Amino acid sequence: MLLSEQKGIGTSRIAALRLAGIEDAVSLLMYLPQSYRDLSRITPISDLSVGMPAVIRARILRPPTCTYIRGMSIVRAAIQDESGKLSVTYFNQPWMQKQLHEGDVVTLSSRLLIKNKQKQFVNPTLEKENGIRPVYKAIKGFPTKLLRELISRLILEEGFLIVEPLPESILSEYSLMPINDAIREAHIPQSEITLKEARRRLSFENLLMYQCAILGVKKRRGNGFLIDSGSDTSKSFWSRMPYKPTNAQIRVTNEIYADLSSQTAMARLVQGDVGCGKTAIAFAAIYAAFKSGYQSALMAPTEILARQHYESAKKLLEPFGISCGLFIGGMKAKERRDALESIKSGEWQLVIGTHALISKGVEYHNLGLAITDEQHRFGVNQRQTLADKGKNPHVLVLSATPIPRSLALILYGDLDVSIVDELPPGRTAVRTRIVSKEKRDLLFGFVRDEVRKGRQAYIVCPLVEEDDEAEDVKSAKAVLDELVNGQLSGLRLGLTYGSQRSGEKAEVIGSFASGELDVLVATTVIEVGVNVPNATIMVIENAERYGLSQLHQLRGRVGRGSEQSWCFLEGEKNERLDMMTKTNDGFEIAQKDLELRGPGDLFGTAQHGAMELFGDAAGADIRLIQETQALAKRLRSELDTSDEARALFAAANDFVDKKGLKASLS
């Protein structure tokens, strides 16, 4: 079936589909729902939880009203079921006034908000169907309703079939649904049971293909540079640090040194919570490489973090005689030429930078150690590109995003894993509290008092600009305006966000770091790489909109000095936010996030396509991850004797290419 021949599909809509990776009927069928609404599962109004999606069925109490404010329409209605009442508000949807009639019983789906102590549904969907309804990720320029119709037509009318990629032996061994049955159930679920089986089958295939591809990368590891490193090297390094290392730092350093001294190129992940001292461990590896005459490169995801590492390296490594250089995008022509020459000649024994380190034209002298920081913001392909700048150098990967071991098996299947499970002594645990909107004045009164004592504060917002459809959500610009003219008037406030010009962003964050600003209002751009020990307060607006792991990362921006630090979560209390008040252990939080939201959402806004492979099935049953990993290893061992195994490994490479996962896999 040609998509261009279908009713309602013109050239602009074909272009929209292509931008979403949909080129033909097969890729359309593989555009699976991102979630489902079970319209048969009705929640009483009294049982609704703030921020959680739900379906309710209730009676409209009186005729809806429609008013206009500054050109924006607002339709309001009051509804009631046997357990309680709820306010319903539609912004910029004036037609809803005619679709809601007094006395009608309606089914609505949305997330509960609390505003002015009143329960609200904002822009809820008026459901006119029953059963389990698929929810697709919106495609810009292509109506979601038309997308659903097109997929249903393809399955029900055209009877389009996909070639089964898994052999019968695997389908039988693992009791998997055939691919076409799974595709049909995923798009047009017949029941909760069949949908679960379909998602398990599709997740199984995705995970198996990804793991086969990862094992293919691991199998290609070759001989590495022999870097002389042992207990004397470790003692020599740590004895000259301005602090005593933790036992975990010494243990992980020894694991790295054992790799560097072996015949095989190291490929190791060092994972640990914010503030556990991973950077110092990386510096220990750089020191060992330097002693053996090799150059090192450290790649960070942001210019802010790269500059921070550069300043730390100059302070801690230059006393050893290690020449450090910074290479980032946007350098002036002469500055860039000089930097490239310093890298190529080996004048810089440690090169620190952003993605610029892997750009065309960068040549290294004798790269023996390639390090990537904040691994979840890079893919395997990017770190492999850095490694390819040398002749099979040792690879070290750092991650401050705690991940349950079950998921680390997948995301970092090509790496050996070291965990830094100890924080340096003297760090005071951050105290976390949930603050309702009604207590904002008290909260900012506390912020003002702390600033008077010489402290600083972050205020994080989910949006940069106001959004009419998210009327209850604070934007960074609106919060800045509110505070400058209200609760924090007279203090020195600054604003930073992701799309801000890099120079302006660096200037604002630099002013905050140097103490020229008292309060920094920001989006999650400050989640990584901002280190201001004097900042003791983190306020997170609309905290219910973030995942637990992201909240933990944001909280990690404070608690970096000796003073007591605080994290205030603005929102209504629920299970997720309550968890944040009970523990500062990032691994415990990540495990809870996995249980509550599933692997696909573990990192909030996913930075890497690999997480999208899991689906709900893997979140509910970690055994699926273990099963597919064991099968991938078995198939790899059979590559020389089994046509079936060779075919699956070949299919795995096609799979990661078609899925757009080249950025997360070599």
Q: Point out which residues pair with 295 in neighbouring strands.
A: 367
How does strand 65-69 pair with strand 105-115?
unpaired
Instruction: Report which DSSP code applies to 347.
Output: S
Q: How many domains does the chain have?
A: 4
Residues 322 and 387 grouped into a single domain: yes
Backbone angles phi, psi at 573, to 5 degrees: -65, 130
- What are the tens digits of pLDDT across the range 464-494? 765 544 556 778 999 999 999 999 999 999 9
CATH code for position 79: 2.40.50.140
Do residues 397 and 383 touch, judged by C-beta distance below 8 A?
yes
Q: Where in 456-518 does DSSP place strands (E)?
A: 456-460, 493-496
DSSP H or E run through 53: strand 53-60
Residues 381 and 406 grouped into a single domain: yes
User: Which residues make Cβ contacts (< 8 Å) with residue 239, sequence separation at least 6?
Assistant: none
Residues 256 and 308 grouped into a single domain: yes
Residues 391 and 264 grouped into a single domain: yes
Task: Select the highest-mean-pLDDT range: 157-171, 240-254, 497-511.
Answer: 240-254
Instruction: Report which DSSP code applies to 188.
Output: S
Whether 35 shows a pLDDT value over 50: the answer reads yes
Q: 576, 517, 493, 499: which is closest to 542 by C-alpha?
A: 576
Residues 442 and 559 grouped into a single domain: yes
* Distance of alpha carbon 264 from alpha carbon 252, whole angstroms: 18
Whether 257 shows a pLDDT value over 90: the answer reads yes
pLDDT-above-70 percentage for the chain = 88
Residues 103 and 144 grouped into a single domain: no
Quick check: is 601 in a domain?
Answer: no
For residue 101 the two structure tokens come to: 């009639």
pLDDT at 39: 87
Can you spell out the DSSP letters for 616-644? HHHHH-THHHHHHHHHHHHHHHTTTT-HH
* Distance of alpha carbon 339 from alpha carbon 331, whole angstroms: 9
Quick check: is 597 in a domain?
Answer: no
* Distance of alpha carbon 657 from alpha carbon 88, whole angstroms: 45
- What are the tens digits of pLDDT across the range 372-425? 987 555 555 666 778 888 888 999 988 877 666 556 656 666 677 888 888 777
Residues 385 and 473 grouped into a single domain: no
Residues 330 and 472 grouped into a single domain: no
Choose one of 420, 440, 464: the last residue of a domain: 420
Whether 610 shows a pLDDT value over 50: the answer reads no
Distances (CA, A) of 637 to 183, 399, 632: 31, 30, 9
Helix residue ranges, H only, 400-491 = 405-411, 440-452, 476-484
* Distance of alpha carbon 410 from alpha carbon 407, whole angstroms: 5
pLDDT-above-90 percentage for the chain = 47
- What are the tens digits of pLDDT across the range 96-126? 999 999 999 999 999 888 877 788 999 999 9
Quick check: is 647 in a domain?
Answer: no
Quick check: is 608 in a domain?
Answer: no
* Distance of alpha carbon 80 from alpha carbon 94, whole angstroms: 22
pLDDT at 608: 39
pLDDT at 410: 61
pLDDT at 620: 40
- What are the tens digits of pLDDT across the range 333-360? 999 999 999 999 999 999 999 889 988 8
- What are the tens digits of pLDDT across the range 147-184? 999 999 889 877 778 889 999 999 999 999 999 999 99
Whether 11 shows a pLDDT value over 70: the answer reads yes
CATH code for position 492: 3.40.50.300
Residues 364 and 436 grouped into a single domain: no
Choose one of 530, 565, 583: the last residue of a domain: 583
Q: How many helices (H) and strands (E) does the chain have?
A: 23, 22
pLDDT at 404: 65
- Which amino acid appears at position 18 of this protein? R
Residues 372 and 517 grouped into a single domain: no
pLDDT at 399: 83
* Distance of alpha carbon 360 from alpha carbon 262, whole angstroms: 31
For residue 228 the two structure tokens come to: 């002389």
- Whether the model clears a pTM of 0.95, i.e. scores above it, the answer is no
Look at residue 541 and give its three-state secondary structure: coil
Distances (CA, A) of 326 to 13, 24, 305, 503: 45, 45, 11, 16
Quick check: is 599 in a domain?
Answer: no
Quick check: is 210 in a domain?
Answer: no
Choice between 598 and 7, residue whose per-residue pLDDT is larger: 7
Neighbouring C-beta atoms of residue 324, cutoff 10 Å: 22
Helix residue ranges, H only, 112-246 = 144-152, 168-173, 179-187, 192-219, 231-238
Quick check: is 637 in a domain?
Answer: no
Choice between 387 and 79, residue whose per-residue pLDDT is larger: 79
First CA to last CA distance, the chain: 33
Quick check: is 108 in a domain?
Answer: yes
pLDDT at 138: 87
User: Which residues make Cβ contacts (< 8 Å) with residue 232, sequence separation at least 6?
Assistant: none
pLDDT at 545: 85
* Distance of alpha carbon 188 from alpha carbon 190, whole angstroms: 6
Choice between 548 and 73, residue whose per-residue pLDDT is larger: 73
Residues 370 and 243 grouped into a single domain: yes
Backbone angles phi, psi at 395, to 5 degrees: -120, 125
Q: Which domain holds residue 531?
A: 431-583
Residues 505 and 564 grouped into a single domain: yes
Alpha-carbon dihedral 40, 43, 44, 50, rounded to 10 degrees: -160
* Distance of alpha carbon 349 from alpha carbon 322, whole angstroms: 6
Choice between 53 and 16, residue whose per-residue pLDDT is larger: 16
* Distance of alpha carbon 151 from alpha carbon 161, whole angstroms: 13
pLDDT at 663: 38
Please give the mean pLDDT across all residues of the chain. 85
Choose one of 160, 190, 220: the last residue of a domain: 190
Estimate the share of the chain in helix, then strand, then coil, as percent rounded to the nearest 5.
45, 20, 35
Q: Which of the residue ranges 20-29, 268-277, 445-454, 539-548 would you say has the lowest mean pLDDT? A: 268-277
* Distance of alpha carbon 281 from alpha carbon 397, whole angstroms: 11
Q: 258, 238, 202: which is closest to 32 by C-alpha?
A: 202
